[in-house]
Structure 1
Amino acid sequence: MIKVENLNVWFDDGYDRVDAVRGASFNVNQGESFGLVGESGSGKSTILRAMTGLAPTWSGRIEIDGLALHGHKRNRDFYKTVQMVFQDPYASLHPRHSVDQVLGEALHLQGFRDIDTRVVKLLDDVGLDRKFRFRYPHQLSGGQRQRVAIARALAGEPKVLLLDEPTSALDVSVQAEILNLLTDLREEHGLTYLMVSHDLPVIGHMCERLAVMKSGEIVEVMDVTQLRQMQAKHPYSQELIGVSVAH
């Protein structure tokens, strides 16, 4: 479903050039949940930004559902296939748009007509009842806002969700609820996930395989069984696991 080959992403040119991602390669199978893990600044979120056209300067190959991506322009077909859930649900929702407007607009942009029925269904899918429909973001908790953001991402019936630290801005008690919701939705809708996190236990809970990133490079790709059995080969991966176990 996702193929990334020798991906390089950089910002600025000349003396100011910053190479954020260097030579990254990985594949994600249809229906799989794949994690990108590493410390802040390791380049993991930048990979998602290149995919969605938010990082304009990149080279290499990105292919999603058989479609090769070029530059930073993305057409409507891309957004029918791929949607992104951001880290901060408050920043990603318009403060003066009600939940109904947020979801209704997303459905309208995807060309759906039966918007009323679909809004109710989307809310139901993410575990929110109808009373939330005409509320505004400031009237919702962090977890409820993230549920709305997930519902918006699901509006166009995508095949792929890109998840950029989707629980790191939430209280610990709410994080598990959102992760369990995402797990259920993947099963129900046959979704493919590419998930970014600095938190190994989160990746271990959500993903079948993961790539460990350090300083813009993928240092190791492993499956979750290797992670749980602490069988990482690269010293940095071993260090990450060690810190995670200590906490």
Structure 2
Amino acid sequence: MSMLDVNGLNVWFGKNRDRVDAVKGATFDVGQGESFGLVGESGSGKSTILRAITGLAPNWSGAMTLDGKPIGKKRPKEFFKTVQMVFQDPYASLHPRHSVDQVLGETLHLHGFKDIDTRVVKLLDDVGLGQKFRFRYPHQLSGGQRQRVAIARALAPEPELLLLDEPTSALDVSVQAEILNLLADLRNDRGLTYLMVSHDLSVVGHMCDRLAVMKDGEIVEILDVAALRAMNATHTYSKQLLEASL
């Protein structure tokens, strides 16, 4: 069964002469429990697709459905109980004057949960931090710890689909593997579906079942991860991307 369907998605910024078409006719689907990757160079439209899904890029046309229900121009509150996003820069996505407890507690309160104390502790345990980090502030955390808090915040509403926008690219290489392994474990434990943006093919090869290759706002090819590992791309650009990754 499909968790997310995207059909003929166009996303643009500006209007008239200033209009920039960032995504052109993107079509793909993400199965329930699948991890699907979007890869390509910077500026190819990968992150813009995630922003269109969440409503952060409001100028779009085409059709998107979530668990069989159409995604409209306005997202109801229930949408964000099902879909959450983890951003690239964990420092920019956390409020500098809010403690970890406030970040998680306010998210839980916003989504109508009552047993907030218990849930905050469990979320911290689930992302490998524990209670000792509960009352710390972002500036007191390392990059990897901040990203764990950002992941905990995304998990708070108990979503089914996580949108991952280059979740490790702002981190030290030594920490990247830890975060990727955490995400893989969480997917298995919670039955999550992932839509992951990355420019790093090795990350996508480790995390994803299938991937779409993007160039200049268009999807040029969809591959499964076995074809990626065997270097079996058909489109010229996909072949170049694979060769460059070596």
TM interval, short-chain normalised = over 0.9
Paired residue type of 2:142: S
Secondary structure, counterpart of 2:17 in structure 1:
helix
Secondary structure, counterpart of 1:227 in structure 2:
helix
Counterparts in 2 of 1:158-177, with a 5 A limit? 158-177=159-178
Is residue 74 of structure 2 the alignment partner of residue 92 of structure 1?
Answer: no
Structure 1: distance between partners of 2:20 and 2:47:
15
By how many angstroms is 1:107 displaced?
A: 0.4
Is residue 72 of structure 2 the alignment partner of residue 70 of structure 1?
Answer: yes
Q: Deviation per CA, 1:117-149, whole angstroms, max 9, x where unpaired?
A: 000000000000111000000000000000000
Secondary structure, counterpart of 2:91 in structure 1:
helix
Identity score, percent: 77
Q: Deviation per CA, 1:81-101, whole angstroms, max 9, x where unpaired?
A: 000000000000000000000
The CA RMSD over aligned residues, in Å, is 0.5
By how many angstroms is 1:114 displaced?
A: 0.2
Q: Deviation per CA, 1:53-93, whole angstroms, max 9, x where unpaired?
A: 0111100001111221122x211100000000000000000
Secondary structure, counterpart of 2:43 in structure 1:
coil
Structure 2: distance between partners of 1:114 and 1:70:
32
Counterparts in 2 of 1:76-115, with a 5 A limit? 76-115=77-116
User: TM-score when scaled to structure 1?
Assistant: 0.98
Is residue 23 of structure 2 the alignment partner of residue 45 of structure 1?
Answer: no
Map of 2:135 onto structure 1: 134
Is residue 186 of structure 2 the alignment partner of residue 185 of structure 1?
Answer: yes
Map of 1:58 onto structure 2: 60
Is residue 245 of structure 2 the alignment partner of residue 244 of structure 1?
Answer: yes
Map of 1:27 onto structure 2: 29
Secondary structure, counterpart of 1:63 in structure 2:
strand
Q: Which 5+ residue runs of structure 2 have no aligned equivalent? A: none
User: TM-score when scaled to structure 2?
Assistant: 0.99
Structure 1: distance between partners of 2:20 and 2:184:
35
Q: Which 5+ residue runs of structure 1 have no aligned equivalent? A: none
Structure 2: distance between partners of 1:67 and 1:88:
31
Structure 1: distance between partners of 2:177 and 2:26:
30
Paired residue type of 1:201: S
By how many angstroms is 1:164 displaced?
A: 0.2
By how many angstroms is 1:12 displaced?
A: 1.0
Structure 1: distance between partners of 2:130 and 2:31:
33
Paired residue type of 2:95: H
By how many angstroms is 1:242 displaced?
A: 0.4
Structure 1: distance between partners of 2:244 and 2:155:
35
Structure 2: distance between partners of 1:80 and 1:43:
25
Of 12, 15, 22, the residue aligned with 2:17 is 15
Structure 1 moving runs of 4+ over 3 Å: none
